[in-house]
Amino acid sequence: MTNSVAPERSLRPGSELDLLFTDLLANGQAVGRADGLVVFCFGPLPGEHARVRIASVKKSYAVAAPIALDCSSPDRAQPFCPVFGACGGCQVQHLAYEAQLRWKREIVRNALQRIGGLGGTAVREPVGMASPREYRNKMTLVVEDGEVGFYRMRSHDLVPITACPVVLPALNRYVGALATAPPSSPVRRILDEARHIVVRYARATGEAVLAISTQRALQNDRSVVTAVRSRFHDAVGIVNSFEPRSTNAILGSRQRLLDGRAEIEEEIAGIRYRVSTASFFQINPEIVGRIFETIERELLPARCVVDLYSGMGTFSLFFAKRGTQVVGVEENAHATVEALANAKLNGLADRAIFRRKRVEAFVTSQAGRDAFSKADLVFLDPPRKGCDESALRTLSRAGVPRIGYLSCDPATLARDLKTLSANGYTISSVQPFDMFPQTGHVEALAILKKAPEDVH
């Protein structure tokens, strides 16, 4: 019997070589091949040749750093942020915006084919932004040794910043004020104690709320409030978030209002939302409005909607505002309280009912069966991990005529659409939305219909 010996590889850390790159991953790394290995490198674009230096070699892949480009793609753009390539917030500022949209469409299409076996599904052109900068309405700053910034790409090292070109301009006033606070400033003591500073801003009202995330509760509340007010006159509220559940947690398990109120008020498509820094709320109001337009055009009218993973009511209230009866289901207690308050704020408490329950438990409960029997549409907006397979099968058996599935992860969307397709639903359309320009993230809305003979 002959022992097989793995061939010795010529690639070593420190090796330099010229490579053609053929693909681009969602994390911004370009993909090439050398010596039988996949080589990942941040910087090149598909179609570009580059001189690279191997940084590490694993069993099935290697990681390289760029030295020089030998040719430039017509899709290459000049990054507009001075820390692009160091900061981990954006991955594709070096890719022209129209090319970003084409690339994101392919990300969705490839996931559907590779993971879902749904290669024949038509994926529409993505809905993008008129100006793909200055769009984020929430900013989470890392604080280390009195400096503020974001995490370095693929690490927890700090990249100091004085501004960020993808947040709303009003948020950059906060960045600048924090980054340039003199040593004698009262704000400096806050930075000495803070782990993170989170600011959320409402474009419609100009309101902002600031959360100071610390390990333990801040002391001397009034001096903290005075310090913040001296620099941030437009903040409607100041919150101390403390006692994080893990070292990676941004906000703590406990929240204490120091001054003002804990929520801002935003308005999208005539719907008012009161949102805290701890709430899950989409960071790009312009694209949320475009999603609303698509829903209204392709999913309405509807008599009754079951909104699973309803959060603080973003989509439930949109449906209710259009005259639909809505049952929202959400397991997070804080989000459910906010949803109920937002329904009252909009005069929609009689049309939007919210139940605090895990989706997986709701779909098998009597309340779930009753809701599905009346519904002509189920709307799903799950977290990145997607939906539980057994919950999707149970939902399919309920025979609701239509499903709208909004996803922030093409991989889990493809997996879940495969389950729904195997259980009697046909995919009518998949519409990507560029919720996160300059990054590898893409949102997509899939619309599915049940075969007429299977409808309840």
Tens digit of pLDDT at every position of the chain (456 positions)? 445 545 566 889 999 999 999 999 999 999 999 999 999 999 999 999 999 999 999 999 999 999 999 889 999 999 999 999 999 999 999 999 999 999 999 999 999 999 999 998 999 999 999 999 999 999 999 999 889 999 998 888 999 999 999 999 999 999 998 998 888 888 887 888 899 999 999 999 999 999 999 999 988 778 888 888 888 878 999 999 999 999 889 999 999 999 999 999 999 999 999 999 888 899 999 999 999 999 999 999 999 999 999 999 999 999 999 999 999 999 999 999 999 999 999 999 999 999 999 999 999 999 999 999 999 999 999 999 999 999 999 999 999 999 999 999 999 999 999 999 999 999 999 999 999 999 999 999 999 999 776 777
DSSP-derived secondary structure for 149-208: EEEBTTSS-EEE-S--TTB-HHHHHHHHHHHT--TTSHHHHHHHHEEEEEEEE-TTT--E
- Cα three-residue angle 423-305-402, rounded to 5 degrees: 30
pLDDT of residue 7: 56
Fold agreement between 138-268 and 277-454: no
Chain center to CA of 127 = 16
Q: Please state whether beta strands 402-407 and 377-380 pair in parallel, antiparallel, or not at all (unpaired).
A: parallel
Q: List % helix, strand, coil for the chain (3-state, nearest 5).
A: 25, 30, 40
pLDDT of residue 5: 46
Q: Please state whether beta strands 208-214 and 235-242 pair in parallel, antiparallel, or not at all (unpaired).
A: parallel
Residue 87: active-site member: no
Residues 6+ apart with CB under 8 A from 400: 306, 372, 375, 376, 377, 378, 450, 455, 456
CATH 3.90.230.10 given to domain 16-69 = no
Q: How many Cα atoms occupy the beta-carbon half-sphere of 89 within 13 Å? A: 26
Tokens representing residue 139 in the block: 């900013």
Residue extents of the structural domains in the chain: 16-69, 138-268, 277-454
Place of tokens 């995330």: 213
| C-alpha to C-alpha distance for 430 and 342, rounded to whole angstroms | 29
Chain center to CA of 3 = 49
Question: Burial of 49 by CB count in 10 Å (0-12 exposed, 13-18 middle, 19+ buried)?
Answer: middle
| C-alpha to C-alpha distance for 418 and 340, rounded to whole angstroms | 34
With H, G, I as helix, E, B as strand and everything else as coil, classify residue 354. strand
- Cα three-residue angle 239-243-247, rounded to 5 degrees: 115
Residues 6+ apart with CB under 8 A from 227: 185, 186, 187, 189, 190
Q: Which fold has domain 277-454?
A: Rossmann fold (3.40.50)
With H, G, I as helix, E, B as strand and everything else as coil, classify residue 390. helix
Q: Which residues are registered as beta bridge partners of 138?
A: 200
> Side chain identity at 180, as an amino acid letter?
T
What are the φ/ψ torsions at residue 324 (nearest 5 degrees)? -95, 145
- Crossing angle, helix 333-345 and helix 314-321, to 10 degrees? 30
Of the residues 81, 90, 387, 408, which is catalytic? 408
Among 79, 203, 202, smallest CA distance to 132 is for: 79
Chain center to CA of 278 = 15
pLDDT of residue 1: 46
CATH of domain 138-268: 2.40.50.1070
